[in-house]
Structure formats: C-alpha cells, structure tokens
Chains A and B, each alone.
Chain A
Amino acid sequence: MTDTDDEVPRRTVTIPDRIELPRLLDFYDLQDADHTRIHEFYDRLREGSLSTTQCADCGELHFPPRVVCPECTSDDLEYVSLPHEGTLHAFSTVRGSPIGMDTPFGTGVVDLDGVDVQLSARIDGAEYDDLAIGDPVSLVITEIDGPTDQQRVFYRFEPQGDNE
C-alpha cells in the first residue's frame, strides 16, 4: 500500500456557480388554476380586490382562504371581499435578509376594519419609528417580477394617506 499512486485516474466534475431560483426557495406560490385550488384569491387580488373564503354551510369566515372549512369540514365555500383598510395591531422590522428578500423592511399584523380578520403583511412606506399601534393602513397590491412567466401578485399595506 502506498500513500500516493500516480496511476489512479483523476477526473473533474463541474458544479454550476449559479442556478435559477429553485421552486422550493421561492416564497410565492404559483397562483394559477394549474397549481392551486385557491387561485380565485389570487385572481381577485390581481384584479385589485382582497378576498377570502366563507363557508356557505356554517358561515365561518376564513383567513387564509381554504378549500375545506376548518369549522364544519364543508367544501362548499364562496369568495367574499375583504376591506382594504385596517389598523396596525403590531409591527417590527425584518433584518437578517432571508434569501431573495430586500431587507431591511417593515412587517406587521393588521386588523382589517369591520371584520374579524387579522393578517400579517409587509408594511411599506414608513420607518419603524414613524409607526404606532393603531395607525390606519391600507392595501397595496404588489406585482411580483420573476422568476416565472406567471403574473403573480401579493398584498402589502402602507400608512393611509401615503398616496394622497
């Protein structure tokens, strides 16, 4: 037995330096009917309306939207519009740069006006020190550019009056 042997064949395998963002590191789902049964939520959002599902049997309002009602297991659900205004329940700043995200940015929890729905959302257009619990915020539709050919959208919120 020898420590080295010049006769052992050597070859090289090349791993690519960069690959396209793999499907499972993309935070946003594919939003069309070929990929998700809640595509109507995304279709409505693309058209400018925040919505969710409500159970036609027991009346439960869900968020996030569902295909089966967690209250009564009915699958007879219908899409209903949600308010586009709400108030800040809590908020913070995201640092630490999750891959593909443009940190730092604001994030928070919004109580939608007049319905029992509380959702998390990125809070655009204000620094942490400029915000307070209870501040009124309103919907911003965000179009997602890349990496698929699909026209994807998501919702964010910003302090009311920012665009006035």
Chain B
Amino acid sequence: MVRNAAIVGGGHADWGKREATWKDLAQEAGKATFDDVDGLGPDDVEGLFVGAVQPERFAFQSHVAPLAAELLGVNASKMIARTELACASGQAALRYAWLAIAAGQLDVALVLGVEKMNLGDEYMGETQASMTNVLDREFDGVNGLNAPSFFSMYAQRHMHEYDTTREQLAQVSVKNKRHAANNPYAQFQQDVDVDDVLDSFPVAPPLCLLDCSGITDGAAGLLLVSEEKARELTDTAAYVTGSGQSCMASNSINNLPSMSAWPQATQAAEEAYEQAGIDDPVEELDVAEVHDCFSISEIIEYEDLGWVEKGEGGQFIEDGRSELDGDIAVNPRGGLLGCGHPLGATGVSQALEVYKQFTGEVESARQVPDSPETGLIHNLSGSGSVHSVMTLARDPQ
C-alpha cells in the first residue's frame, strides 16, 4: 500500500535573534500552522514529527516531540518522534511523515522544525562549540572545524579546481538576500551587492560574513496529509513525488568522497528524480529550495543536483539561470543566507515555501512567475556527508 501525501499549509515563527525560548518558538509555529489550514486542528493530528538538532545543547532539553505535542494540544495518537540529522533534520521529519502516510499508518501529520540557537552574544562560544560536534568531534571537531571554516575549504578547493571566482560566490548571496528582503519572517531582510559581500568580515577566508547563513532562532510547521484528505481540504496542494538520501558511509574528513563535490547529492537527486519521473530537471523543475548554508554550497549543488556540468556552477549563477525568471528559480524564500538557518526548521520551511509558491501566497517580489507546478528541496547535513532531496508537485502523478 503506497499512498500519496501532500502539504496543505503551514506557517512560521519569526526568525532571527529572538527574545523567546524553544517552547515559545514551537508554540508560535504551531499556531501559525493551524491558523493557515482551514478544516484541520490539533485534534486531527495523528502523527507528530519534530526536527530538532541540539535542544540538549541550546535549550537543555531532550524528548522534545512530546513536549511540542503537549504545547500544541496534539494527541499524536499513532506516531510521534523527533528527528536529528543535523542541518537536514527538518527534511528528515517530513520524509518520515511522508513514509508513514504512504504506508497507510496515518492520514494527518504535523511536521514541525524548531531550533533555539542564540543564547546571548556572551555565550556564542558555547553555541560555536556545540556546532563543531556535527563532525567526528574527537578527530575533526577538536580542530575547530565549525561550519564556516569547514565550508570555506570547499570554496577554496572549488576555486582551485574549477576557477570559480569570489564574485560568483558573492552573487549567490546577493540573489538570496534580495529574495529574503521580501520575506517577512526572514532573519536578514536587507539587500546587499557584490561589494558588500566581498568587503564583509573575513569570517573564514576565502568566505566572508555575508557568504554565511546566520545563527538563528526559528521554527516552522506544516501539515502533511493523505491524498484523500488533501482533496477534501483544498484544490492546491504540494504532493511529495520523490525522495532520496545518500550518505556513502562518510562523516569524517578522511572518508568524505571529495572536498569540491557532493556525489551524495547526485545519488539522492537521481533517486528522487526517478521516483518523480523527472528526466530533465532543468526543464521540468520550476522552483528549488536548496541548502545554501554558505554561498559555495549553492554553486556545488547546481552541479551535483545535475543541472549543469561539474565546474560550471559559478557560470550558472553568473548567467542568471537561477534567478526567479531563470531556468530554475532557486531559493525564492531567501535561502539560508537570507532567512537564517535554525537547523531543525530549515527543511520544513523550504518545503512550505514550495507549497506557497504553488498557491501564489508569497510576496509578489519573490513569486516565481508563470504559476510554478513542480519543485525540489535539498539539504545537506554535517560535513556534507549526507544529502537529502525531495521533489514536490501540484499534481500527484
């Protein structure tokens, strides 16, 4: 028994440096989600899936799925779990909800992603220390490999091997922050230009501050329901059409397949494309929310998601092919670079954005033109060791 499942709505807490706790954020996103969907309330939710990466470190709290269930009055009568897959935890939560519905175990799932990361500037060292342990802490985290220094080496290698330019990296930030400037829940709602990026603080050379996503408090929720339920509720839904993941038995530096490519992204994408019946992603995908944790990441993803030849990712952004009116509108939400990156919430927010692009409910300045009907979300996690790809469409096949 394999059944279709679809997103029928959702909502966000405001993202940024919030004067609010993990529990506050969960409640805000839950309310926004239920407020968005007519015909479904907490009592209807049979499954609750919560993406959360480090509540133990950032909020001194574990077992957060039942905590969220209590806060939102959700019975979760059939299934409840928290997912932890570092930066892809939100998509992992969505994937498990999809599988539960596809398997006929439940009809209505709440997928929630919540992360509280800002403990106050005086405690940033504690936050940074916690972020280094997504790699093998004993052998990699110990060397200070937090996200900026780690991904900066991918930028350095990609520039070294493929002549990708600093300006091309900056163009990714410019594009995504332009979209975020029109996104009311985004952490960074300010336009920047290429010079702003290049002149910003060299956090981890060759990457500068504006090449980096933020340390973000945030939460997002969505309701994923069976096709039968979706058709009762709405005419416009976002159906999951494919989902792939790949890890390649890698996590620590010595075992990563490359420091300028992510073959795991290629494997995960090919799996998802095959399930969705996508032969030519550039031709067939209208909108994509990809994991731009750093500017370099989006450039590598153009290549390894199969949209352009290896090494030509820099040219892809330079030629405007990922703009709203380009070949694939990439990160109209504003991306991680513009919205910030509350780890567990990001994947949920990306999927919700694709749904909102289908329904036309986003701000006009970042609406993908010509009624998009197909979309993709992508997350990498940790050292880029795992890549997760999900395809969505207005119509189930």
A and B co-occur in one complex? yes
Instruction: Evaluate contact between B152 and A92: CB separation under 8 angstroms.
Output: yes
CB pair B254–A133 under 8 Å, yes or no, is: no
**Looking at the complex, which one of B136, B144, B206, B259 makes contact with A64 (CB distance below 8 Å)?**
B136
Does any Cβ of B come within 8 Å of A94's Cβ? yes
Q: A96-B203, A98-B129 are in contact. Are A109 and B259 (CB under 8 A)?
A: yes
Task: Give B163-216 interface residues, CB cut-off 8 Å to A.
Answer: 202-207
B278 to chain A, nearest CB (A): 33
- Contact sample, A vs B, 28 pairs, CB 8 Å cutoff: A25-B126, A27-B137, A27-B142, A28-B138, A63-B254, A89-B259, A90-B153, A90-B156, A90-B259, A92-B149, A92-B150, A93-B202, A93-B205, A94-B204, A96-B128, A97-B125, A98-B128, A98-B132, A99-B126, A99-B128, A99-B129, A100-B129, A101-B129, A107-B149, A120-B135, A120-B139, A120-B140, A128-B205
A27-B137, A118-B254, A128-B205 known; A107+B143 contact, CB < 8 A: yes
Chain A residue with Cβ nearest B137? A27
Interface members, chain A 28-79 (any B CB < 8 Å):
28-29, 63-64, 70
- Give the nearest-CB partner of B205 in chain A: A128
Within the complex, what minimum Cβ distance (angstroms) separates B73 from chain A? 27
B residues near A (Cβ < 8 Å) are 124-126, 128-129, 131-132, 135-146, 148-150, 152-154, 156-157, 160, 202-207, 249, 252-254, 259
Say yes or no for A136: interface residue by CB 8 A criterion: no
The answer to whether B149 and A117 have CB atoms under 8 Å apart is: no
Complex Cα distance, B81 from A141, in Å, reads 44
| The one of B136, B137, B146 that contacts A96, using a Cβ cutoff of 8 Å | B146
Residues of A within 8 A of B157 (CB): 89-90, 133
A92 near B153 (CB under 8 angstroms)? yes
Which residues of chain A are within 8 angstroms of B146 by Cβ–Cβ distance?
94, 96, 98
Contacts of B132 in A (CB 8 A): 27, 98
Instruction: With A64-B254, A96-B124 as known contacts, state yes or no: A133 contacts B259, CB within 8 Å.
Output: no
For residue A95, CB closer than 8 A to chain B, the reply is yes
Chain B residues with Cβ under 8 A from A28's Cβ? Answer: 138, 142
Instruction: Assess the B253–A109 pair: CB atoms within 8 A.
Output: yes
Closest chain-A Cβ to B135's Cβ sits at a distance in Å of 8
B135 neighbours in A (Cβ, 8 Å): 120
Nearest-neighbour CB distance to chain B for A67, whole angstroms, equals: 13
CB contacts (< 8 Å) of B249 on chain A: these are 70
CA distance A64 to B128 in the complex (A): 23
Q: Kindly report which residue of chain A lies nearest to residue B138, judged by CB atoms.
A: A29
Residues of B within 8 A of A100 (CB): 125, 129
CA distance A31 to B344 in the complex (A): 33
| Cβ-closest chain A residue relative to B136 | A64
Interfacial chain B residues near A95, Cβ < 8 Å: 148, 203-204
Closest to A110 in B: B253
Q: Which residues of A (85-141) have their CB < 8 Å from a CB of B? A: 89-101, 103, 105, 107-109, 117-122, 128, 133
- Kindly list chain A residues whose C-beta atoms are within 8 Å of the C-beta of B202: 93
Residues of B within 8 A of A63 (CB): 139, 252, 254
Please give me the residue from chain A that is nearest to B259 by CB atom. A90
Asked if residues B138 and A119 are in contact (CB atoms below 8 Å), the reply is: no
**In the bound complex, what is the Cα–Cα distance between A99 and B126 (angstroms)?**
5
Q: How far is the CA of A17 from the CA of B239 in the complex (A)?
A: 53
Across the interface, which residues of A come within 8 angstroms of B136, CB to CB? 64
**Do B149 and A94 have beta carbons less than 8 Å apart?**
yes
**A107 & B160 in contact (Cβ 8 Å cutoff):** no
Which of A29, A117, A120, A154 sits near B145, CB closer than 8 Å? A120
Which residues of B are found within 8 Å of A122, using beta-carbon distances?
Answer: 143-144
| Contacting residues, chain A, for B126 (C-beta < 8 A) | 25, 99
In the complex, A92→B135 CA distance in Å?
16
Known: A64-B138, A120-B145. Is A92-B252 also a contact (CB below 8 A)? Answer: no
